Amino acid sequence: MKGKFLERVVTEAFQLEGINVIYEYFPWKRSYLQVQHGDFDGTFPWNKTKERRGEFYIHKLPLYKDEGVYFHLKNNAFDWNTIDDLKQYKVGVTIGYQHEIIYNKKGITAEPVASEELNFKKILVGRIDVYRTSKIVGYETINNLFNLEEAKRFTHHPKVVEEDDYFILFSRNTSNGKHFSVRFYSGLKQLKASGAYDKIVGEYF
């Protein structure tokens, strides 16, 4: 699986509207807050919640649909059926993710860190056993973060935790947030209607 799939979709959708995208990279929580505060126009990928609908402009058509899965090393015989099965493993979680609340309620010990990248680094060196995230985001993070041999050591458990739609969150506190939300929706519709979206997916997956 190759990296930059999502950036490719976002870039090409905006290009259909005559807009060039500039990317900057931050830990997830920081990215969220910076867009919320109006320092940047948008951040992705995020699922849509009632809270986020009130805090951001969110386009109607999903950027993509993905499965939430648990990542681990291939040499780790990780298996689970119910969430209680996770109590026997060292579980990672990113600060600000709803999984942290779920783990606390279920009595699962999870060590929160500031970014997805840190969780994958901890898996590689054995400090945690598993980490839950979007399958696409997970593999993009792995392929961007590690060399080929290190990346090959990772896999995901086939059991899907959930399936969800993901979107760009556009700021309500920049002059362009609403405008870009409308333009991205238009560009993404064109990209999907033309078959170009499916072609991009086929190149990566």
Q: What is the mean pLDDT of residues 39-59?
A: 94
Q: Please give the domain boundaries of the chain with CATH numbers for all domains.
A: 5-64+164-204 (3.40.190.10), 66-162 (3.40.190.10)
Flag whether pLDDT at 38 surpasses 90. yes
For residues 183, 164, 41, 58, the Cα torsion angle rounded to the nearest 10 degrees is 50
Instruction: Quote the pLDDT of residue 1.
Output: 41
Instruction: Quote the pLDDT of residue 24.
Output: 93
Burial 27-55 (b: 16+ CB within 10 A, else e): bbeebbeebbeeebbbbbbbbbeeeeeeb
Instruction: Quote the pLDDT of residue 98.
Output: 75
The values of phi and psi at residue 134, to 5°, are -60, 140
Flag whether pLDDT at 64 surpasses 50. yes
pLDDT band (50, 70, 90) for residue 2: very low
pLDDT band (50, 70, 90) for residue 176: very high
Written as six digits, the tokens of 158 are 């086939």
Radius of gyration of the chain (CA): 18
Q: What is the mean pLDDT of residues 114-121?
A: 92
Cα distance between residue 39 and residue 171, in whole Å? 9
For residues 70, 74, 78, 79, the Cα torsion angle rounded to the nearest 10 degrees is 70
Instruction: Quote the pLDDT of residue 47.
Output: 87
What does pLDDT average to over the chain? Answer: 92
Instruction: Quote the pLDDT of residue 12.
Output: 97
3-class SS at 66?
strand
Instruction: Quote the pLDDT of residue 42.
Output: 98
Flag whether pLDDT at 45 surpasses 60. yes
pLDDT digits (tens, 9 = 90+) for 9-33: 999 999 999 999 999 988 777 899 9
Cα distance between residue 190 and residue 169, in whole Å? 20
Quick count: other Cβ atoms within 10 Å of Cβ 195?
A: 9
Q: DSSP string spanning 12-47?
A: HHHHTTT---------HHHHHHHHHHTSSSEEEEE-
Instruction: Quote the pLDDT of residue 137.
Output: 83
Flag whether pLDDT at 153 surpasses 80. yes
Instruction: Quote the pLDDT of residue 116.
Output: 87
pLDDT digits (tens, 9 = 90+) for 95-113: 877 788 889 889 998 989 9
